[in-house]
Amino acid sequence: MSAIPMYRPSRDEVKALEKFKKAGYRIVGRHSAVKICHWTKTALRGGKFCYKRWYGIRSHRCIQMTPTLQYCNMMCIFCWRFHSINRVSPYGGDWDEPKTILDGCIAAQKELLSGFKGNPKVTIQRFNEAMDPKHIAISLDGEPTLYPYLSDLIKEAKVRGMTTFLVTNGTMPEVLKELETLPTNLYISLYGPDEETHKQITRPLITDSWQRTIKSLELMSSLNCRKVVRLTLVKNYTMKDAEKYADLIKLAMPEFVECKAYMHVGESQKRLPREAMPNMEEVSAFAKELKDFLGYVLVTEDSDSRVVLLARSDVELSKIASF
pTM: 0.89
122, exposed or middle or buried, with CB in 10 Å at 0-12, 13-18, 19+? Answer: buried
Q: pLDDT-derived band of residue 92, with 50, 70 and 90 as boundaries? A: low
- Are the beta carbons of 29 and 7 closer than 8 angstroms? yes
The DSSP output letter for 144 is G
Q: Give the model's pLDDT for residue 70.
A: 82
Encode pLDDT of 101-149 as tens digits: 999 999 999 999 999 998 999 999 999 999 999 999 999 989 999 999 9
The DSSP output letter for 236 is T
What would the mean pLDDT of 78-96 be, rounded to a whole number?
67
Q: Give the model's pLDDT for residue 104.
A: 96
Q: pLDDT-derived band of residue 272, with 50, 70 and 90 as boundaries? A: confident
Q: Give the model's pLDDT for residue 10.
A: 61
Of 233-237, 243-247, 316-320, minimum mean pLDDT range: 316-320
Tell me the average pLDDT of the chain: 89
Q: Which domains does the chain have, with CATH numbers?
A: 11-320 (3.20.20.70)
155, exposed or middle or buried, with CB in 10 Å at 0-12, 13-18, 19+? Answer: middle
pLDDT score of 48 more than 50 = yes
Q: How far is CA 63 from CA 157, 222, 307, in A?
A: 11, 28, 21
Encode pLDDT of 290-319 as tens digits: 999 999 999 999 999 999 999 999 887 765
CA 6-158-57 angle, to 5 degrees, is 100
Encode pLDDT of 139-158 as tens digits: 998 999 999 999 999 999 99
Q: pLDDT-derived band of residue 18, with 50, 70 and 90 as boundaries? A: confident
CA 115-121-126 angle, to 5 degrees, is 75
User: Assign residue 142 a region: left if phi > 0, alpha if psi is -120 to 50, beta otherwise?
Assistant: left
Q: Give the model's pLDDT for residue 2.
A: 41
From 77, 94, 83, select the one nearest 4 (Cα to Cα): 94
